[in-house]
Amino acid sequence: MEQTMSLKDVARLLGIKAYRLQYVFVHGVVPEPSLRISGRRIFTPADVRRLAEHFKIKLPETEAVTEPAGP
């Protein structure tokens, strides 16, 4: 299963205030995340990458993607 995060978690990860995230969704600057549970936005890693690109924030590389160097 894919890891999901709340708006508060995403704001903390990106280092910005939660109201800035809410603003871009309310005004249609960035598309809303497709998943909602009980009216709350639920963010997938793809949603977080899209927000990081919009705010020009560099996310740390994940270790799961690294492969050993070949000969």
Greater confidence (64 vs 23) lies with 23
Helix (H) or strand (E) holding 47: helix 45-54
Task: Tell which residue, 34, 48, 39, has the closest CA to residue 3.
Answer: 48
Does the pLDDT value for residue 1 go beyond 60?
Answer: no
Res. 67 pLDDT band, cuts 50 70 90: very low
Per-residue model confidence (pLDDT) at position 62 = 56
Q: Is 47 exposed, middle or buried (0-12, 13-18, 19+ CB in 10 A)?
A: buried
**CB within 8 Å of 17: residues ≥ 6 apart:** 11
Residues in the chain: 71
Dihedral sign from CA coordinates of 36, 48, 13, 69: positive
Per-residue model confidence (pLDDT) at position 64 = 37
pTM recorded for the entire structure: 0.78
